[in-house]
Amino acid sequence: MSAAAMPFTDREVAAIRGDFPILGRAVRDGRRLVYLDSGATSHKPRVVLDAEREFYEQHNAAVHRGAHLLAEEATDAFEAARATVAHFIRAPEDEVVFTKNATESLNLVAYAFSNAAPTDEPKDPRFVLGPGDEVLVTQMEHHANLVPWQELVRRTGATLRWIPLAADGSLDLGGLDTLLTERTKVLAVTQVSNVLGTINPVGELAARAHAVGALVVVDACQSVPHLPVDVATLGADFIAFSGHKMYGPLGVGVLWGRAELLEVMPPFLTGGSMIELVTMERATWAPAPQKFEAGVPNAAQAVGLAAAVRWVEQVGIDRIHAHEADLAERLLTGLAARPWTRVLGPAAGTPRGGAVSLVVDGVHAHDVGQILDDAGVAVRVGHHCAWPLHRALGVTATTRASLAAYNTADEVDTFLTALDRVPEIFGIAEAS
Amino acid sequence: MDLYQELILDHSRQPHHAGLRDPFDAEVHHVNPTCGDEVTLRVSIAGTGASAVVRDMSYDAQGCSISIASTSVLAEEVIGHTVDEALDTYAGMREMLTSRGKVAGDEDRIGDGIAFAGVAKYPSRVKCALLGWAAFTDALIRAGVQTPVLTDHTTQGVTP
């Protein structure tokens, strides 16, 4: 990342906002929409919508099938989208698998450990899991990077272990030597917490995992849209992310995996497209990435995702990161001035992602979110698909504001002002 | 905003009939998986058939103001009433809450439940308002009270 990356100027943000038709609409009682829920899903710039529409209007055909002109164009568009996404994360093209979303990407990897034919084929020992083996996750994982591993150990008799959460919202690595051992076959960890904004030391964790022979699976949903990710230097063996959280369409996600691993992994879903040869008795597989893309692929969505990547590259991912960090700091400073709020996760001044979760003691997050919604401010409330994290921090639910390239300092201020109605309505000020 | 009526805020701050009490004929635990709200609810029934009466309804609830207040109003409206009356109150609440604001609600039928009329305009909060009620009807069934089956898929029951 360039150290010189600057936040966007007001004029630049205005231009960025102009790319997103939905930001022009009004919400409750004609109020201006203040969208602070991009961690759940981002909005999509017009170029993404146009790319999808153009695919359907001009090139629509089933990819990797047929010899007619449209089929060729559709296949070219789909493979060009793969190349665009691969370049964005500095990966070779054949290491990028298109999926439905990050959840499917993570399941694809988890199933590689228990989905292989049980008999005749020699299995790569790295994908053999059984009693005595361990899968190591963390207490801050999104359910998508936790539940598939819980289910995998249930199927295989292996054991699930986890790195605990420290009170400051970082991972407590004090006991890592006893958690990460030669029994560990997989380390699954998020790069950036979707709740706390914590940036985990993936490089260090991956090096230690590799030293004991474990594979490293990284949930990159909250990193790829927000900061430069280079798989060549990250240290991971797999990363998973969703298109819809990075200005792309719903219904397309990505699994990146090192080529030599994708080559030896058994397929997840089977059927059309992913085969090499089929007889009545059995089938052999196409090389990766096709081996993992069964059925007619989501080409229009992949093309839309490529348009989103080009949009991000044009705006600059390092500038998006600087912009969101700037806004997060403004948000945290504003919250610090409101002592009836409590921010979970890294404090102001710590490098972090653009997700800020807070608690108003005595008021449930649903009620906080409702009052914000009444002011036109969209946030996420609840456990954000990270229930164990919330339990570990002793809270049932939090209110999360999450930032994107199109957010403004004004919007952060609107959020803070709207938040001030919470103690007014619920009488916290009277009580204190 | 018309959602947070004073009556709702009062009930959420000081829920009526709160706490788990003995004796009871059935206990259920319901959760709202989208936000993690939980309620453990007990019913004690006197009599059988058409004359069955809700002798007591006690609960331990964690959740937002809407779900706490709604469970508190539920207790107010059903304790000491016949099961038939309680189920009619539930039907009236449910009809109002799921109407997206089209059904104003009948105060004679649902009592203080009328304060929740504003919730109907916020579909994501209807689950909160129905959490305790869904637990209550489930508890009646588990207590062996012969009731027309009122299925409610907005919350999930967990067998204790």
Q: What is the DSSP string of A160-183?
A: EEEEPBPTTSSB-GGGHHHHSSTT
Q: How many helices (H) and strands (E) does chain A have?
A: 16, 15
A367 touches chain B (CB under 8 A): yes
Interchain contact, B9 vs A425, CB within 8 Å? yes
Within-domain flag for A39: no
Do A280 and A346 share a domain, yes or no?
no
Residue A42 included in any domain: no
Same domain, A138 and A208: yes
Contact residues, chain A, for B9 at CB < 8 Å: 425-427
Number of Cα atoms under 13 Å in the Cβ half of residue A76: 9
Residue that is last in its domain, among A313, A342, A368? A313
Question: pLDDT category, B146, cuts 50, 70, 90?
Answer: low
Report which of A148, A11, A90, A23 is spatially closest to residue A411, judged by C-alpha positions. A23
User: Is B125 within 8 Å of A370 when comparing Cβ atoms?
Assistant: yes
Residue with tokens 């201020």: A413
Is A363 a domain residue?
Answer: yes
Q: Answer whether residue A43 is part of any domain.
A: no
Cβ-Cβ contacts under 8 Å, B1 against chain A: 370-371, 374
If contacts are CB pairs under 8 Å, which of residues 15-54 in chain B contact chain A? 34-38
Single-letter amino acid code for the residue at A35:
Y
**Residue finishing a domain among A313, A336, A369:** A313
In this structure, what CATH number is given to the domain that contains residue A202?
A: 3.40.640.10
Residues A167 and A296 in one domain: yes
> What token pair was written down for A126?
């790295």
What are A386's two structure tokens? 């990270």
DSSP state for residue A374 in the 8-state scheme? H
Catalytic annotation present for A385 = yes
Band of pLDDT at residue B159, cut at 50, 70 and 90: very low
Domain check: are A178 and A80 in the same one?
A: yes
CB-CB neighbors (< 8 A) of B35 in chain A: 365-366, 381-383, 396-397
State the residue range of the domain holding A346.
3-32+316-426
Q: Residues with Cβ < 8 Å from A120, sequence gap 6 or more?
A: none
CA distances from A231 to A5, A33, A190, A351, B18 (A): 21, 36, 14, 20, 54
What chain B residue is nearest to A388 in terms of C-alpha separation?
B36
- Residue in A360, A364, A372, A379 to test binding to B, most B beta-carbons within 10 Å: A364
Torsion angle, alpha carbons of B7, B13, B16, B17, to 10: 160
Give yes or no for A374 touching B (CB within 8 A): yes
Residues A189, A320 within the same domain: no
The two structure tokens encoding residue A196: 């706390």
Q: Is B89 within 8 Å of B110 (Cβ atoms)?
A: yes
What residues have CB less than 8 Å from B96, skipping those under 6 apart?
A: B103, B104, B105, B110, B113, B116, B117, B120
Q: Are residues A326 and A299 in the same domain?
A: no
Asked if B66 is an interface residue toward chain A (Cβ–Cβ < 8 A), one would say yes
Q: Is A382's CB within 8 Å of B36's CB?
A: yes
List per-residue pLDDT tens for chain A, 432 residues long.
445 799 999 999 999 999 999 999 999 999 999 999 999 999 999 999 999 999 999 999 999 988 899 999 999 999 999 999 999 999 999 999 999 999 999 999 999 987 655 555 667 889 999 999 999 999 999 999 999 999 999 999 999 999 999 999 999 999 999 999 999 999 999 999 999 999 999 999 999 999 999 999 999 999 999 999 999 999 999 999 999 999 999 999 999 999 999 999 999 999 999 999 999 999 999 999 999 999 999 999 999 999 999 999 999 999 999 999 999 999 999 999 999 999 999 887 888 899 999 999 999 999 999 999 999 999 999 999 999 999 999 998 999 999 999 999 999 999 999 999 999 999 875 444
Mutate which: B64, B125, B131, vs A, most A CBs within 10 A: B64
B64 with A390: Cβ contact below 8 A? no
Q: Do A15 and A56 have their domain in common?
A: no
- Residue B34: its pLDDT value, please? 75
Tokens, residue B11? 């009930």
Distance CA A356, CA A363 (A): 17
- Report the residue of A28, A31, A366 to disrupt the B interface, i.e. the one with the largest count of B CBs within 10 Å: A366
- Examine the domain organization and report whether A207 and A177 are in the same domain: yes
B65: nearest CB among A364, A374, A383: A364
Q: Which two tokens stand for residue B56?
A: 């007591």
Domain membership of residue A191 (yes or no) is yes
* Residue finishing a domain among A262, A296, A313: A313
pLDDT at residue B37 in the model = 85
H runs (alpha helix) in A10-129: 10-18, 46-54, 69-88, 102-112
Interior angle at CA B138, CA B134 and CA B139, nearest 5: 115
Enumerate residues 412 to 431 of chain A having a beta carbon within 8 A of any beta carbon in chain B.
Answer: 425-427
Residue keyed to tokens 């016949």: B82
8 Å CB contact between A161 and A134: yes
Number of domains in chain A: 2
B153 has a pLDDT exceeding 50: no
Contact B36 A397 (CB under 8 A): yes
Q: Cα separation of B112 and B131, whole Å?
A: 17
* Contact residues on chain A for B36, CB-CB shorter than 8 A: 382-383, 387, 390, 396-397
| pLDDT score at A170 | 95
Question: Does residue A350 sit within a domain?
Answer: yes
**Which of A234, A262, A355, A385 is flagged as catalytic?**
A385
The reply to whether A385 falls in a domain is yes
Distance CA B3, CA B24 (A): 34
Confirm if A18 and A281 have CB atoms less than 8 A apart. no
CB A102 within 8 A of CB A219: yes
Residues 376-405, chain A: which have Cβ within 8 Å of B? Answer: 381-383, 387, 390, 396-397
Q: Please check whether residues A79 and A199 belong to one and the same domain.
A: yes
Neighbours of B95 (CB within 10 A): 16
Looking at the partner chain, which of B4, B64, B66 has a beta carbon nearest the beta carbon of A425?
A: B4
Statement to judge: residues A131 and A252 lie in one domain:
yes
A-B Cβ pairs (cutoff 8 Å, strict) = 49
- The pTM for the full model equals 0.91
Q: What does the pLDDT read at residue A284?
A: 93
CA distance A186 to chain B (A): 29
Cβ within 8 Å of residue A248, ≥6 positions away: A44, A48, A301, A304, A305, A307, A308, A309
DSSP A177-215: HHHSSTTEEEEEEESB-TTT-PBP-HHHHHHHHHHTT-E
How many Å apart are CA A369 and CA A366, to the nearest integer?
5
Q: Where are the beta strands (DSSP E) in A206-286?
A: 215-219, 238-242, 253-257, 275-278, 283-285
Pair A60, A101 in one domain: yes
Amino acid at A313: E
Q: Are residues A284 and A391 located together in one domain of the fold? A: no
Q: How far is B34 from chain A (nearest CA, A)?
A: 7
Round to whole Å and give the CA distance between A406 and A323: 9
More confident residue, B158 or B141: B141
Residue A432 placed within a domain: no
Distance CA B125, CA B117 (A): 12
Contact B65 A383 (CB under 8 A): no
Q: Provide CB contacts within 8 A for A104, sequence distance 6+.
A: A253
A389 closest CA partner among A345, A338, A427, A355: A345
Q: Which of A68, A66, A67, A63 is nearest to A82 (CA)?
A: A63
Residue B135 · residue B155 · CB < 8 Å: yes
Tokens 């449910």 sit at which residue?
A: B94
CB of A71 closer than 8 Å to CB of A61:
yes
Contact between chains at B4 and A364 (C-beta distance less than 8 A): no
Contact predicate B47/B27, CB 8 Å: no
Inter-chain touch B64–A365, beta carbons under 8 Å: yes
